[in-house]
Structure 1
Amino acid sequence: MSRLFLMGLVLVSTLVRPAWAEEPQSQNSEAAPAASSSTARPEGRSAAVPFIFTTSSMGFSVGAAASLQGVLQERSQLVAVGTYSENDSYVAFLGAYNLHFGDSGRWFVDLQAFDARMRETNVYIDGNPNFDTPAGSHGSSGENMVLGEESQRDFYATLRYVLPFGAGEHSPQRRARLVAGIPVAPEKGEQVGAYTSVEFEPFYRERTVEGFDGQFQKDKTQGVSLKLDHDARDFIPSPSRGYRFEAQLHRDFGSGERSSYTKWEAQYSHYLNFGASNWSKQQVLALTAYTSDVPTWDSGAEGHRPPWFAESTLGGWNRLRGYQSGRFHDRSAVFYGAEYRAIPRWQPQGAIPFIDRYYFPWWQLAIYGEVGRVHDSYDLSELHKEMDWTVGFGVRMWVENVVARVDWGFSEEESQLRVVVNQPF
C-alpha cells in the first residue's frame, strides 16, 4: 500500500484577482469573485503552498508549490514545485503555460521541465532473479520488480494552434459561464460547440534505475509528437457537459544508442449532467475510453520499441489508479473509466478561519470504477479478456482556480492514495 499522509499545510498568497486561461463569465451576483465579466481585464495573482508529507519511497519530506498568474502575459501561468526528503530524494517541477504569440491570437506555447530522484522505490522492469516472465506484462506478479533508486527527467515544449472554425471561429479564447465556480448551461444565443486545435510537441524523457542488487539501467526517448484535440467541454477544469476527443502520434527517430519507434494513442471522454438534487449543487457522470499501440513493435530484425516507461502503460494517477505508476506496460493497451462526481450543497470552507481568505467555492465527492489491460499485440479481442480493474473514491477541491484531487484506489494487488491536481479526465 502506498502511504501518503499530509502532515501540515500553510497557504500564503497575495490576494489579487487571478488570470484565466479559460475566461469565465459571471451570470449573477452569486458568481465567485474570480469570475469577472468577459470584458474585464484580469490581473495577476501569486500563491505559494508550503507542505509536509511522508511517502514509502521518500520518507519524511518538505516542499513548496508556487503559482504566478498573469506575470509574463495577461493569461499566462508559471508553476513551480519542489520537495526534498530525509532519505535525500527530491522532486522539482517548473512549467509555463498559455503563452501566446502571433497577430491571430491562435498560437500558444506550454513549457514543462521535471526532475526527480527516488532513493527507494519499486520499478516494474526486468531484472528480478526470481522471475523469468516479462515484468509489467498482463498477468505478471506484483513482486516482479526491481527495488532500488530511480531518477526521472522530462522536458516538453508544446506549440498549439486553435483552428478558426467551430466554436473557435471568432475567438480562440474559451469562455465558461459560472455561478459560484460551477458551470451552468449557456443562455440562448450564446456560441456553443467544439474548439479544435493541433499541437506539435518536442519531448525528452529519461529514466535511470539503480537496483539495490547492483542492477543498472538507463533509458531515454526523445522525439516529437503531433496531436489533434477536439474539445466541446463546457468547463475545462471540471466539465459537466460535452465531450472531448484526442488523438496523438509520437515518433522517436532513434540514434546509435536507442531504437526508433512510433506510438499512437487516442481517448474519448463524455460528460452527462444530471442536474442538482436536494443535497447536491451538481451531479455529473464522466465516462472515458482510451487505447494505444506501438505499430513498430515487431518491425525489422529486432523490432523498434520504446523504453519501458514510454510503452502503452496503465497504473498511476489517471488510469487504473489502484496500481502504482507504470505497473503494466506493453505494446498495446485499452482502458475504460466511469466516475460519478457530485458537489454537495454543504460547503463549510468559507466559514473556516484563514481558509476563508482564499477563493474556494466548492469541494466535490467522486466514486469511480476502471478496467484496462495491456498486451503484446494490438488484438482487441485479447485486450478485453481478464481485464485488470480498480475501484475507488476521492475528494476534489476547486481552490484558487486549480482542482486539487485526493484519490484512494483499490485493486487486486494493493491500494494507492494519491494527492495530485486536475481531474483524471
Structure 2
Amino acid sequence: MMRQTHFSLLMLSTLLMTPPLYAAQWVDSLLEDLGSSETVDESKLIDWGVLPGPFYNPEMGVGIGAAAIGLYRVDKQDRDTQYSTLSFTGFASSTGAFGVGFENNTFLQQDAWRLFLKGAVKNVPTSFWGIGYAAGSQDSNKREYTAKALELTPELAYQVAPDLYAALGGSLVRLSTESDEPLFTALPGGERNQSIGVSARLSYDSRDFLPNPYRGQVASVKYTRYLPALGSDADFSTVEARYSYYWQLSARTILASEVYGYFTHGDVPWNQLAQLGSDKRMRGYYEGQYTDRNLLTTQLELRQQLSGRHGVALWVGAGTVTAHARELLGAEAHWLPNAGVGYRFAFKPRVNIRLDWGVGRNTSGFYFQVNEAF
C-alpha cells in the first residue's frame, strides 16, 4: 500500500511538473528563434534579436511594444573595447499612442572615439497640468492634448585622458499639439515649436558596459544652447548633470546609484522645461505632471541575478521640480517619493529586457524597456 502511494505521488508530481517544464522549453525555443542567446555571434555584421512585450504607464495606458537589439564590434580584432549597440523600439497603446525610436552607441578606435545617436517619432495623447509643483498637485488643472513630436540628438565624444571624454553634439525637438484647450496657445512656445541647439559635454566615464554597468562610475555635465540662428524658435539653454556609481557586491549582485539634475535658462518653451517622470527616472509618475524650470532626482537600485538569465531589481528614489535652482535643496522644494520592483531577462549578453513597476505619490506605471534605466 505504501509503495502504491509513493508511486501515485510520483505520477502526480510528474504530471504537475510537465506543463511548466514544457512551457519553459517552448518559451526558450521561441526566444531563440527571435534571436535570444547567451553569446554574441561575431560572424555576423550585427547580431540581432527581436522581442515584443506589454506595458502600462500613466501617460499611454495599456500597450504593446517591440524591441530589436543588435550588438557588434566595428573592429573585430579589438577584444578589449565594449560591444557597440543598436536598438530600435516601437509601441502602440490603448489611448491611440504610437511611435518608433532608435538608439546607437558606437565605440571606435579602442574606445578613443564614441558616437552616440538617439531619435524618436511619436504621436501620444497625454496631459499637462501647468508649470510648477502646485499646478501638478491639483487634478483640476489637468488638460488633455495630443503631442506629435520628433526628437534627434547626435553626439561625438573623444577621449582626452583615461576615461575622460569631451563631446560635441546637437539637439532637434519639434512639437505640434492638438487640443481644444486655450491653455496651450498661452504657454511659452505655444501649440507648435521647434528647438534646435548645439551641445558640449564633459564626462568622466569608467563604466565597463554602458547599457548594463557592473562597476565603474560616470560624472557628466552637458550644456546645450538653442539659437534662432540655427532654426530654433526660442533662445534658451539647458544644463544636464549626472553622477552614477556602480558597486559589484558579488558575481550576481549590483548596487547602482544616481543623482541627476536638469536646469534651464532663458525663453524656454514649455515642452523643454524639466519634467519629472520617465522610464529612466521617477518611474511611475506621469511625465509632465510636475514641470518647472529645474529638476533634481536621486535613485538607488539593487539588481540581483537569479538562475539562468533571469533577474530582479528593487529601487527607491525621490525627486523635485522648482522655479529656481537654489530652491532645489531648500525648504521650498517639495520632494516626491518613488519606489519599484522589476523583472530582468538577459536577452543578449549584458543586454537586459526590463519590466518595471514603479510607484509614486498616488500614481504607478508598468514599463517594458531595453537596457537598464541608468
1:236 maps to 210
1:237 partner letter:
P
When residues 383 and 306 of structure 1 are mapped into structure 2, their CA distance, relative to the original with a 3 A threshold, is farther
User: Residue 382 of structure 1 aligns to a residue in which SS?
Assistant: coil
How far apart, CA to CA, are the structure 2 residues paired with 1:409 and 1:105? 35
How far is 1:105 from its partner? 6.9
Query: Cα deviations across residues 125-179 of structure 1 (Å, max 9, x unaligned)?
Result: x4xxxxxxx356676324423212111110122212223x32xxxxxxxxxxxxx
- Specify which structure has the bigger relative contact order, considering alpha-carbon pairs within 8 angstroms and separated by 6 or more residues: 2
Structure number with higher helix proportion: 2
Match of 1:90 in 2: 98
1:335 and 2:337 matched? no
Q: Which residue of 2 aligns with 1:33?
A: 39
> Identity across aligned pairs (percent)?
22
When residues 399 and 331 of structure 1 are mapped into structure 2, their CA distance, relative to the original with a 3 A threshold, is: same
Matches within 5 A, 1:163-202: 163=160, 165-166=161-162, 195-202=163-170
Asked if 1:222 is matched to 2:196, the reply is: yes
User: Does residue 396 in structure 1 map to residue 371 in structure 2?
Assistant: no
Tell me the residue number matched to 2:12.
none
Aligned to 1:153: 150
The change in CA–CA distance for 1:337 and 1:45 in structure 2 (over 3 A counts) is same
Which residue of the partner structure matches residue 313 of structure 2? Answer: 366
Q: Separation in 1 of the partners of 2:62 and 2:210?
A: 34
Q: 2: CA distance between counterparts of 1:246 and 1:123?
A: 30
| 1:8-47 aligned within 5 A | 11=31, 33-34=39-40, 44-47=46-49
With the length of structure 1 as denominator, give the TM-score of the two structures. Answer: 0.67
Match of residue 247, structure 2, among 263, 272, 279: 272
State the alpha-carbon separation in 1 of the partners of residues 369 and 221 from structure 2: 24
CA distance in 1, matches of 2:278, 2:34: 34
Match of 2:50 in 1: 48
Contact 2:57 2:366 in 1 (8 A): no
CA–CA distance in 2 between the matches of 1:246 and 1:113?
Answer: 21
TM-score (norm 2): 0.75
Deviations 1:17-37 (A, max 9, x none): 9xxxxxxxxxxxxxx533x9x
Check whether the contact 2:127–2:289 (CA below 8 A) recurs between aligned residues.
Answer: no
Counterpart-to-counterpart distance in 2, 1:93 and 1:398:
21
- Supply the AA of the counterpart residue of 2:310: W
Structure 1's 15 and 87: CA in aligned 2 closer, same or farther, altered over 3 A? closer
Residue 116 of structure 2 corresponds to 110
Displacement of 1:267 in angstroms is 1.1
Q: What is the alpha-carbon distance in structure 2 between the residues aligned to residue 87 and residue 410 of structure 1? A: 21
8 Å contact from structure 1 (residues 136, 326) kept in 2: no
Task: Letter of the 1:291 partner, please give it.
Answer: G
Q: Secondary structure at the match of 1:396?
A: strand
- Correspondence for 1:318: 280
- In the superposition, relative to structure 1, how do residues 55 and 392 fare at CA in structure 2: closer, same or farther (>3 Å)? closer
Maintained 8 Å contact 1:116/1:152: yes
Structure 1 CA distance for aligned equivalents of residues 318 and 304 of structure 2 = 22
The answer as to 2:252 corresponding to 1:282 is: yes
- After TM superposition, the structure 1 stretch with the greater mean CA deviation from structure 2, 226-235 or 252-261, is 252-261
The DSSP-based 3-state class of the residue aligned with 1:368 is: strand
Output one character per residue of 1:162-202: Cα deviation in whole Å (capped at 9) or x when no partner.
Answer: 23x32xxxxxxxxxxxxxxxxxxxxxxxxxxxx22222111
Would you say 1:406 and 2:374 are equivalent positions? no
Give the Cα–Cα distance (whole angstroms) in 1 for the partners of residues 93 and 317 of structure 2.
Answer: 32
Give the CA deviation at 1:248.
0.7
Question: What is residue 207 of structure 1 aligned with on the other side?
Answer: 175
What per-residue deviation string (whole Å, max 9, x for no partner) do you get for residues 81-108 of structure 1?
33456765421224444174xx787334
User: 2-side partners of 1:86 and 1:243: how far apart?
Assistant: 39
Query: 1:292-313 CA distances to partner (integer Å, 9 max, x unpaired)?
Result: 322x3xxxxxxx2322232233
Check 1:397–1:12 CA distance in 2 against 1; reply closer, same or farther (3 A cut).
closer
- What is residue 20 of structure 2 aligned with on the other side? none
| Deviates further, 43-52 or 226-235 | 43-52
Residue among 252, 258, 261 paired with 2:233: 258
Cα distance between partner residues in 2 of 1:224 and 1:397: 37
- Could you tell me how far apart the structure 2 residues matched to 1:16 and 1:396 are? 14
Q: What is the one-letter code of the residue matched to 2:234?
A: S
Note if contact 1:253-1:260 (Cα within 8 Å) is conserved in structure 2: yes
**How far apart are the structure 2 equivalents of 1:249 and 1:72?**
29
Q: Residue 23 of structure 1 aligns with which residue?
A: none
Cα gap change, 1:264 to 1:62, in 2 (>3 Å): closer
Q: Which residue of 2 aligns with 1:307?
A: 269
Q: In the comparison of the two structures, how many residue pairs are matched?
A: 332
Q: How has the CA–CA distance of structure 1 residues 236 and 381 changed in structure 2, closer, same or farther, with 3 Å as cutoff? A: closer
Calculate the aligned-residue CA RMSD, in Å: 3.5
Call closer, same or farther: CA 1:137–1:317 in 2, change over 3 Å.
farther
What's the CA shift for 1:72? 8.1
Aligned partners of 2:59 and 2:287 also within 8 Å? no
Counterpart of 1:300 in structure 2 is: none
1:418 lines up with 2:360 in the alignment: no
SS of 2:252 mapped into structure 1: strand
**Closer, same or farther in 2 for the Cα pair 1:236/1:251, shift >3 Å?**
same
Aligned-residue offset at 1:399: 0.9
